[in-house]
Structure 1
């Protein structure tokens, strides 16, 4: 059909070496001091790639990604209620007694 995908799948060998990733190199050295080796450390390489963002960027995205849409919908809802006179906040007879 001739359509290009909207993203590029990275080559697998980009995620095969921990060289250049300080946190994982330190982990490997600390394990080596204890005589241990983590054969699955390569499975964590993707977490430290710059394209995935820092921890704070991930937290910001998690909590605030829907903020603009939510704020716009809230403003639209309040404006419609004020314009159309809705809301149903009239006092009832039993509330007036108090």
Structure 2
């Protein structure tokens, strides 16, 4: 009905938790060792492994640059369009139209 193609079930596949291993991430292995030195263990540490998958999420630096400059192309295009529009309309922010504040400060 309605001609829409509805998918049955979620549009994604949740990976099996067994594919994430703390031993695959040197940073998390160090966390695990530091906890063990204090007699502690984090049973949820495996849940952080996906964050270090460089193939899937790239490096921290690349993610940071991507985040910081995500809207830059659109913002720069809007900036250029604004400048062009102001130029086309003859907007001049430096023009003195006789309504300045000369003499309002008591001779300062």
Q: TM bucket by the smaller chain?
A: 0.7 to 0.9
Name the structure with the higher helix share.
1
Gaps of 5+ in 1: none
Counterpart residue number, 2:89: 84
For residues 54-73 of structure 1, the aligned pairs below 5 Å read 54-73=59-78
Any runs of at least 4 consecutive aligned residues in structure 1 with deviations exceeding 4 A, and if so which?
A: none
CA distance in 2, matches of 1:49, 1:67: 26
Gaps of 5+ in 2: 104-108
CA spacing shift, 1:87–1:43, aligned 2, 3 Å: farther
With normalisation by structure 1, the TM-score equals 0.76
For the aligned residue pairs, the C-alpha RMSD in angstroms reads 2.4
- Deviation, 1:31, is 1.4
Which of residues 38, 41, 48 in structure 2 aligns to 1:37? 41
The number of equivalent residue pairs is 94
